[in-house]
Amino acid sequence: MSAEDVLQPPQQTVTSLSLSIKSWLHYNNDEYKGVFETIRPSASDEAIAECEELLGFPLPSDLVNLLKVFDGQSYSKRVYEFPCAPWSRFLGCKDISDRYHSLEQICEMCSSEFNTECVWDCQVAANHKVGQAGSPILGHNDSWIPFAESYSGGGGPPTLWLLDLNPPDGVAVGRVLGFGGEGDSLSLWAPSLFELLDDILKAMKRRNPEIPVGVAAAAPQEEELAEELRHRKVFYEDGPRIWHQYLNE
C-alpha cells in the first residue's frame, strides 16, 4: 500500500452513510429529543427475506444495506420530523411491505381528493417538473418501493419517498421519487438513495458540525461550503420541510 493510498478517505457506501447518520442522531439526542430512541435495531436476514416475499421481488441492495444498519423507525407522537430530511421517519421491513401494498389505495384517495387522474403503470420522465404540462400529477407503478414517509397533519394520505426500480429509458434504476403533498404528487428528489443520504449527512454536519473523533469515523471528507450549496437542489439551508425536486443541471 502506497502513502497515497493511506491518505485517501474511505470510500463511502450506503452503509457508512447510514452509520454516520445514526451516530449523529445519538450525539445530538439532547437537541433533537426522541429521534434516536425511535431507531430500530438492524433488520435480520429473515425480516428482509419476509419483506421480499411479500413484495414478490428482491429489495435493491442499497435499501438492504440501510435496513441492516437500522430497520426503520418506530412511530412516535413526539417525533414529527427527522432532522435534516424531508420525512418524519424511515420505514422498516414490515412498514415497507405494508405501504407498498397500500400505494394503489393511496393513489385512489389522492385522485378522489384532488379530482386528478391517476396514471397507472406510470413512468416519470427524467426532466419531470411538478405541474408542468404533460407531467403526471398522480401515478402508480408496481416497481416503486417506499422507504420513508411524512405524516399528514389532517389525517389524509401520507407523503412517501420511493425508490424507482422501473424508470424510463436513459434513467438509472434506483432514483428517489416523492409521492404526495397537497396534490402535487410526483416529484424527483435525488438520483439515488446513496446521494440523498449523502445530502442528509452533509446538512446534519452543517447544522451541528462538532462530532467527536470516533463517533462518526465513516463520515465523508468535508467539502468547501460553496460546493456543498451548489450540490443537488435538495435541502433548504435551515429546515427539514423540502419541496424541491432533483434536476440534473
**For residue range 219-238, what is the model confidence (pLDDT) as tens digits?**
444 444 333 333 333 343 43
Q: What is the distance between the alpha carbons of residues 27 and 49, in angstroms, rounded to a whole number?
A: 32
Q: Determine contact, residues 36/52, Cβ cutoff 8 Å.
A: no
Q: Tell whether 59 is covered by a domain.
A: yes
Q: How many other CB atoms sit within 10 Å of the CB of residue 58?
A: 13
Q: Tell whether 239 is covered by a domain.
A: no
Q: Tell whether 245 is covered by a domain.
A: no
Higher-scoring residue by pLDDT: 185, 107: 107
Q: Is the pLDDT of residue 4 over 80?
A: no
According to DSSP, the residues that pair with 211 across neighbouring strands are: none
| Per-residue pLDDT at 5 | 52
Q: What percent of the chain has pLDDT over 90?
A: 40
pLDDT one-digit tens code per residue, 50-71:
999 999 999 999 999 999 999 9
Number of domains in the chain: 1
Q: Determine contact, residues 203/211, Cβ cutoff 8 Å.
A: no
* Mean pLDDT over each residue of the chain, to the nearest integer: 80
Q: Is the pLDDT of residue 210 over 80?
A: no
Q: Tell whether 166 is covered by a domain.
A: yes
Q: Tell whether 150 is covered by a domain.
A: yes
pLDDT one-digit tens code per residue, 127-151:
887 777 778 888 899 999 999 998 7
Measured between its terminal Cα atoms, the distance across the chain in Å is 37
Q: Whole domain around residue 61: which residue ranges?
A: 3-230
All three cell numbers of 100, joined, read 407498498
Q: Tell whether 246 is covered by a domain.
A: no
What CATH number has the domain bearing residue 190? 3.40.1580.10
Please report which helix (H) or strand (E) contains residue 87, including its range.
Answer: none
Q: Tell whether 237 is covered by a domain.
A: no
Q: What's the pLDDT band for 177 if we cut at 50, 70, 90?
A: very high
Q: Tell whether 249 is covered by a domain.
A: no
The C-alpha angle 55, 51, 15, rounded to 5 degrees, equals 115
